[in-house]
Amino acid sequence: AGIESTVGMGIYAQGLSSLFDLAKVQSAEHPQGHAVMLVDQYRSAPEITDFIGETFYDGQLRPAVDSSTFILPQGAKAGIDWVDVGGYPERSPDGGWLNRAEAQAIARHVKRLLVDEAYDGSVGIVTPFNAQAGALKRAIWADVPEPRRAAANLKVGTVDSFQGEQRMLMIFSPVAAGTNGHDAARFLMRDRRRVNVAISRAQAVLLVFGDLAFARKCNVSTLRQLAARATEPRRHAGDAEAGSLWELRLKSALERAGLDPQPQYPVLGRRLDFALFAGDVKLDVEVDGRRWHTDIDGNRKTDDVFRDAQLRGAGWRVLRFWVSELDQNMEKCVERIKRELE
């Protein structure tokens, strides 16, 4: 929730400032204070963290989650997806909004997920409006038995009710839709933080049920960006296999030696240059250019040291080769990799 106006805090608007926002402002007002941004995000899949970082934190978040702990629904991939639902928002007696078509579509999906497929991950359903939360509960409770809801730790609520929580699968019901959706969308436009909280509760999958055509053209920038990220192909810098010349040469040398290097292997929210496996051994092989992997004093960058420690903590072995090592004696480097896999 936001910071309530109290004595001495009248400049901070309810709903527009978080504790972190307040700390940053007060730090700026008091030179002896310093704001520190914690950039490693250990909750969400890389695709979700990337979106949150780019949309809300100027690209400063870095995914550091162990994706091997994810429990994915059948046929799903970790990340953000969108189910196109029409419908229209209706005013509720409390002055909020609800979208019956979204509520019914989500209820059908949850029934299939928890009853038919017996999904055993945790599930949360978040929406900006109390009226929509009520409609969702009524529809889901009618079709999904209590034991299945309990097994999934199922929770349905507004954004504020999910503060500090997380679920393996989060479903977002924005409600705003159709030709009269802009009135409902104003609530999201006034407070971007609510969309941030809704999205960042997801660990493995964020699934949005909403009017895609409306979202793509509405005046809520975060909803437009979310629709684009969920539905449009996006190329990542690490998507190309073994991109550098020396990575390609090492890959060929390893394959000639009878090994099976897997380039750009995703783990802990990062991509390895090469992953190799032999029995219980998991080996990360990195190819480093000194220009990009040393600091001003010529030492290896602390990012590399921290990353390697994370991987070793997760049971990986790590070998790093300077490009100069590969250039001088590729065979020796390949033999070292083979020994590490024994």
Q: Give me the residue spans of the domains in the chain.
A: 37-231, 245-340
Whole-angstrom CA distances from 240 to 12, 109, 223 are 46, 35, 29
Two tokens, residue 274:
């090469």
Two tokens, residue 283:
């080996």
Same topology for domains 37-231 and 245-340, yes or no?
A: no
End-to-end CA distance of the chain: 54
pTM: 0.63
pLDDT value for 250: 92
pLDDT value for 145: 97
Contacts of residue 80, defined as CB under 8 A and 6 or more positions apart, other chains included, come to 47, 48, 51, 205, 206, 208, 226, 229, 230
pLDDT value for 298: 63
**Pairing, β 40-41 against β 62-63:** parallel
The helix or strand, by DSSP H or E, that contains position 64, with its residue range, turns out to be: none
Classified as helix, coil or strand, 191 is: coil
User: What whole-number distance in Å separates Cα of residue 77 and Cα of residue 24?
Assistant: 36
Length of the chain equals: 342
Q: What share of the chain is helix, strand, coil (3-state, %, to 5)?
A: 45, 20, 35
Per-residue pLDDT band for 12 (boundaries 50, 70, 90) equals very low
Residue range 37-231, CATH number: 3.40.50.300
Two tokens, residue 225:
């960006």
pLDDT digits (tens, 9 = 90+) for 134-171: 999 999 999 999 999 999 999 999 988 998 899 999 99
CATH class for the region spanning 245-340: alpha beta
User: What whole-number distance in Å separates Cα of residue 34 and Cα of residue 28?
Assistant: 8
Two tokens, residue 139:
């529809």
Per-residue pLDDT band for 22 (boundaries 50, 70, 90) equals very low
Whole-angstrom CA distances from 91 to 88, 131, 307 are 10, 9, 50
The answer to whether 196 and 56 have CB atoms below 8 angstroms apart is yes
| Percent of the chain whose pLDDT exceeds 90 | 41
The answer to whether 172 and 201 have CB atoms below 8 angstroms apart is no
pLDDT value for 126: 96
Cβ neighbours of 146 (radius 10 Å) = 9
Two tokens, residue 121:
């991950």
92: left (phi over 0), alpha (psi -120 to 50) or beta: beta
User: What whole-number distance in Å separates Cα of residue 195 and Cα of residue 100?
Assistant: 21
Classified as helix, coil or strand, 298 is: coil
Q: Which residues pair with 170 in a beta bridge?
A: 124, 206
User: What whole-number distance in Å separates Cα of residue 114 and Cα of residue 48?
Assistant: 23
pLDDT digits (tens, 9 = 90+) for 214-228: 999 888 888 899 999
